[in-house]
Amino acid sequence: MGVLDGKVAVVTGGTSGIGARTATLFAAEGARVVIAGRRTEEGEKLAAEFGGTFVRTDVSVEADVEALIAHAVERYGRLDVLVNNAGDPGAGGSVADADLARFEQTFAVHLGGVLTGMKYASRVMLGQESGSIINIASTTARLGGWAGLGYSAAKAAVIQLTRGAAVELGEHGIRVNSISPGPILTGIFAKGAGMDAAEADRTAAAMESAFTAALEIYQPIHRAGTPDDVAQAALWLAGDGSAFVNGHDLAVDGGISAGRPASVALAERAKLAKAFADLRG
């Protein structure tokens, strides 16, 4: 038996990276899965691999999200899990040079898309008096300097939006939680640098060694984070094993949000100790 046997799940941003792995894992664990995204060819191909369906969806367009949820219910008769994962690299730049239109678009995707997904999913789940909504936030919601201002601010808002929805919907049997991934080896970084989306997804794995090396002084677990790390957390939140978990933000970041690796801190202390010793002569 699978963890999600008999459940129906919708995964947005499901054509690559975290979303694609989450959709595939959910299907392997027995769920009937609808994936959503803007790239039709990739979405239809992936859905065909595990017997799911694909709906082209831009989460910043409310009518698209409404149609997505309607498709899931019309096809499968219910909705048990929604994973709000859709996103993009977001607005970059400094405070002084902020592009407000780009900033607003980042919020429309990362925050508005989450709210719209919950709006239409909750209408279905309220009738069932059950459901699990999982919003993908980010460790950058708590740590400055790791992503653009718009992306970080939107992800921080997602965590608070999750809490607000959790205390409202929890009374009706619907759990709402978020996951905050750290740096995960996907194509989003190359996309942010201007690379074609398909090429960025194909070449992400080639960056593993460079990715791991760059994180060595920040991340206690010394390996690159993978989409499967996040998908496994989403599987737990989607299933009955987390039935008493509501309004929680689960960090999946190799310990970055906990602090620097102890070895790094000890090495710095040793350098300071030597400097003091040299000063004393």
Has 151 been annotated as catalytic? yes
Number of H helices, E strands in the chain: 11, 7
Question: For residues 190-229, b (16+ Cβ closer than 10 Å) or e, as one string?
Answer: bbbeeeebeebbeebeebeeebbeebeebbbeeebbbbeb
Which helix (H) or strand (E) covers residue 18, if one does? Answer: helix 17-28
| CA distances in angstroms from 123 to 66, 78, 99, 151, listed in the order given | 11, 11, 35, 28
Rounded Cα distance, 230 and 212, in Å: 17
Q: Are 113 and 86 in contact (CB under 8 A)?
A: yes
Tokens of 147: 């992503």
- Which active-site residues does the annotation give? 151
